[in-house]
Amino acid sequence: MKKVILKPGREKSLNRRHPWIFSGAIARNPEEPEFGETVEICSSEGAFLAVAAWSPRSQISARVWSFSKRGIDREFFLEQVREAVRGREALFSECSNQLTACRLIAAEADGLPGVIADRYGDYLVCQFLSAGAEAHRNDIVDCLNEVCIPVGIYERSDVSVRQKEGLNDRAGLICGQEPPEVIVINENGIKYEVNVRTGHKTGFYLDQRDNREAVAAHASGRDVLNCFSYTGGFGVAAAVGGAKFVTNLDSSQNALALSDDIMRLNGIDPSRYANVEGDAFKVLREFREQGRKFDLIILDPPKFIESQQQLHRGCRGYKDINLLGFHLLNPGGMLYTFSCSGLMDSHLFQKIVADAALDAGRKAMIVKWLTQAPDHAVSLNFPEGFYLKGFQLQVQ
């Protein structure tokens, strides 16, 4: 195995089991490794630290497969996949018949940097997002087949982060049967239609599962605004939870059309919901001018911050949308507000939402801190895996 030698002192993060080696931490690599090649990471004194996948084009030059000296082969991937799947089975052991979709492999958190695998019914949908994941794609797929026995495995490696690794987009069937146009999943008794070919991420926001449940539990009798509704996940949960009326608001006509199908699939009477297609920033302002009010509002915008340069502008976006949200809430109303930008930390998000409440002249109490569902695992050693933050607020 080729060796990569770190600069003095740069072994610290590896000693804490953090799996990334940044280019700036590397002193030298006497033999230039190939793309995705397994390398040995050594301290400046030559001590073994980890085996990792080499990524020549990324700022993250290597991602750790293992902190023990071992071969990275099919056996290794089988162990990792087995362990991850076993973990999910334990997590959902009490509701497995009511839950047919979840994240099985959450990349770094599951010891498989760059590998995402989501289960949607009998199918798996995967993403290979790093050089190492790409180099071992066949073995990983083989192990997923062996452990999960899916009807088919579909790939959705059509995400911009691949460019940072020097990889092009790839999407399509990997093996088994083509998934149907929509897969119907069951989540705690609610059915959702998922299009794994065209849907966001691998098809659905599985990470919001627990938050959908929280909304359902508080929706009874309320007039609900589901802003940035996508295919209406929160809206359907609210309707099933007994909401008086649900307004889904999104800029995507296709997403709204699918949300109608999902409402129908769950037997929700069309008189109990409406869709508004438009730009949330504009539509919420119009609602405000019209004096419209809601009892429960969900604000789940897209990632406003993709890079440090976008931080300032992104923060303004979050502030603006939350300010509008506060204005539109009836006294005693509930606000569910989220940020999925990994670069925005929880404290900053709280400050932004607090500023918005202040400007709107509203007092808000945190009922619950919200985050990604636990199958979107976050390892203690890899805080970067935590991206979804939110608050359930009771607003006076």
**What are the residues binding ligand SAH (CB under 6 A)?**
205, 208, 228-231, 233-234, 250-252, 255, 279-281, 300, 302
d(CA 271, CA 109): 44
User: Is the CB of 48 or the CB of 281 nearer to ligand SAH?
Assistant: 281
In 3D space, the residue among 320, 385, 342, 333 whose CA is nearest the CA of residue 362 turns out to be 333
State the minimum distance, in angstroms, from the CB of residue 226 to ligand SAH. 7
CB of 209 to ligand SAH, least distance (A): 9
- Helix ranges restricted to H, the chain: 12-15, 74-91, 131-135, 137-148, 161-164, 209-218, 233-240, 253-265, 280-290, 311-328, 346-360
Kindly report the number of other CB atoms within 10 A of residue 2's CB atom: 14
Angle at 31 between CA 4 and CA 21, to 5 degrees: 25
β-strand partners of 371:
389
- Residue 246 CB, nearest distance to ligand SAH (Å)? 13
Shortest distance in whole angstroms from residue 302 CB to ligand SAH: 4
Residue 92: CB atoms within 10 Å: 15
Residue 335 CB, nearest distance to ligand SAH (Å)?
A: 14
Which residue is associated with the tokens 């609602």? Answer: 287
Token reading at 361: 């002249």
Token couple for 112: 């498989």
Q: At a CB cut-off of 8 Å and minimum separation 6, what does 257 contact?
A: none
* Contact yes or no for 155/170 (Cβ under 8 A): yes
What positions carry a catalytic annotation?
340
Residue 392 CA to its chain's centroid (Å): 19
Rounded to the nearest 5 degrees, what angle is found at the Cα of 234, between the Cα atoms of 229 and 237? 145
DSSP letter for 99, please: B
- When the beta carbons of 54 and 234 are compared against ligand SAH, the nearer one is 234
- Which is nearer to ligand SAH, 231 or 371 (by Cβ)? 231
User: Pairing relation of β-strands 223-227 and 190-194?
Assistant: unpaired
Least distance between ligand SAH and beta carbon 101 (Å): 13
In the bound state with ligand SAH, the residue whose beta carbon lies nearer, of 339 and 379, is: 339
d(CA 362, CA 382): 36
Smallest distance from the beta carbon of 299 to ligand SAH, in angstroms?
Answer: 9
CA–CA distance from 193 to each of 150, 255, 301 (Å)?
Answer: 18, 11, 21
C-alpha span between 91 and 93 (Å, rounded): 6
Residues with Cβ within 8 Å of residue 308, at least 6 apart in sequence: 343
- H or E segment to which residue 300 belongs: none
Q: How far is the CB of 325 from ligand SAH (least distance, A)?
A: 13
Q: What three-state secondary structure class fits 47? A: coil
* Cα separation, 130 vs 158, whole angstroms: 12
